[in-house]
Amino acid sequence: MKPVSDSSAGGRSIARAFPIEDVRRQFPALARAGRFVFFDNAAGAQIPAAVHDAVSDHLVARNVQRGGPYRQSREVDAGIARARESVAAFVNARGADEISFGLNATSFIRAISLAIGQTLDARPEIVVSDLDHESNVATWLALQRAGTMASNATGTTVDVAEVARRAHAVGAEVFLDAVHYAPHGPIDVQALDCDYLVCSGYKIFAPHMGFAWCRREAINRLPTFREDFIPDVTPDKLEAGTYAYENVAGMDAAIGYLEAIGRGADGAGLSRVDALGAAMSAIAEYERGLSRRLLDEAQSIAGVTVHGVASRDRLHERVPTLCFNVAGRDAAAVADALAARDIGVRSGHMYAPRLMARLGLAPHGAVRASLVHYNTAGEIERFAAALREAIAGTR
């Protein structure tokens, strides 16, 4: 997607140095890992201490079912309501009732796709993209009868607002998988004008859980599966059964962590929406520097081919995810060699096997290094040095 302006939020300048050292101090895993470098964040990011504390507090103080008349149960109800408000601010929803919690993004994709499948007589076509995570392709294809914000494999972003404009012009709806993009830049569902959006908390510095934003008019007319006692309106109609309340508490704390970045030293007067927009814009700006450094280092190594957007004047069209291959080297062997040098990356199809086939990389796929805002230029230098050693060592 095309992010909102990085120069301001709510009329306030955010053109200040990104507080990378302060950020890193808030992630216990980074200190505990020693020399190990977390470059597999697209598979799951680390959490700040505040998230750990929120999860622990829930489990110790109120590990009970919601809906009861006693204090601990009412605290769970209040915590879930607070988390809905937080996530609604993160995506700029019209209201907290448009936010549903569950296991993960894939579960929401399946539930919503099955509901849409029952309405196909009125809309007989579904358009998907090979850039998408397979969970947002195969589920729709299974109906036999549109797209991702950032590719899980290459990190390329898509102008989904323009996609939505064209889709709505012909009476279609737009379903967005924001899982890979969400840690990297601002999301504004009202500006994007999409109809459904799903995300997984473990990509945005929270525990393993998922949430869905659905335009209330769209989701409320779908025939979702639910027990009779569950209200047939959002958010309840997508929340059948008990989910992990402690992880929802962690999601709330993760949004609070991001909000604090947006407020920084001079953002005390910002609304939550503006503070979160400022945070994600600042993160996007910092990460463009990481993308530039990552591309510079990778393309300086003989035999490395980078897939996806590589032009330095198009850094706004990508996130700091590097998808690459080394000539004559098996992708898994390269990832293993980097792991032996304390660099954590991933190899394979990255859950985008159709894209890998289109790129001529099937069946072994590529190597993926995926960074987030707590990564540094120094870690990129270590990655590049380790990659050079790995290539030399496998000759």
Give per-residue pLDDT as tens, 204-253: 999 999 999 999 999 999 998 888 889 999 999 999 789 999 999 999 99
Q: Please write the tens of the pLDDT for every residue from 131-148.
A: 554 455 555 555 444 447
Q: Is residue 12 scored above 70 in pLDDT? A: no
Among 35-44, 163-172, 374-383, the minimum mean pLDDT is found in 163-172
Say what the pLDDT of residue 384 is. 98
Residue 285 pLDDT exceeds 60: yes
Are residues 72 and 169 in contact, defined by beta-carbon separation less than 8 angstroms? Answer: no
Q: Give the CATH superfamily of 8-48+273-393.
A: Aspartate Aminotransferase, domain 1 (3.90.1150.10)
Instruction: Give the Cβ contact number of residue 56 at 10 Å.
Output: 13
pLDDT at 266 over 80: no
| CB contact at 8 A, 176 and 148 | yes
The model's pLDDT over 21-32, given as tens digits with 9 standing for 90+, comes to 999 999 999 999
Per-residue pLDDT band at 4 (split at 50, 70, 90): very low
Q: Which band of pLDDT confidence, cut at 50, 70 and 90, is reported for residue 155?
A: confident
Q: Is the pLDDT of residue 9 over 80?
A: no
Residue ranges with strand state E in the chain? 8-9, 12-13, 37-38, 99-102, 147-148, 175-177, 196-200, 210-214, 304-307, 321-326, 343-344, 346-348, 366-370
- Whether 8-48+273-393 shares its CATH topology with 49-259 is answered no
Residue-level pLDDT at 201 = 96
Mean pLDDT of the region 113-121: 79
* Domain range summary for the chain, segments of one domain joined by +: 8-48+273-393, 49-259
94-106 mean pLDDT: 95
Which CATH architecture group holds 49-259?
Answer: 3-Layer(aba) Sandwich (3.40)
* 108: pLDDT strictly greater than 80: yes
| Residue recorded with tokens 């000759």 | 395
* CA dist., res. 287 & res. 163, Å (int): 25
What pLDDT score does 316 carry?
94
Pair 278, 14: CB distance under 8 Å? yes
The predicted pLDDT at position 7 comes to 35
Confidence (pLDDT) at 153: 64
Specify the pLDDT at position 8: 36
pLDDT > 80? residue 6 = no
Given a cut of 80, whether residue 15 has pLDDT beyond it is no
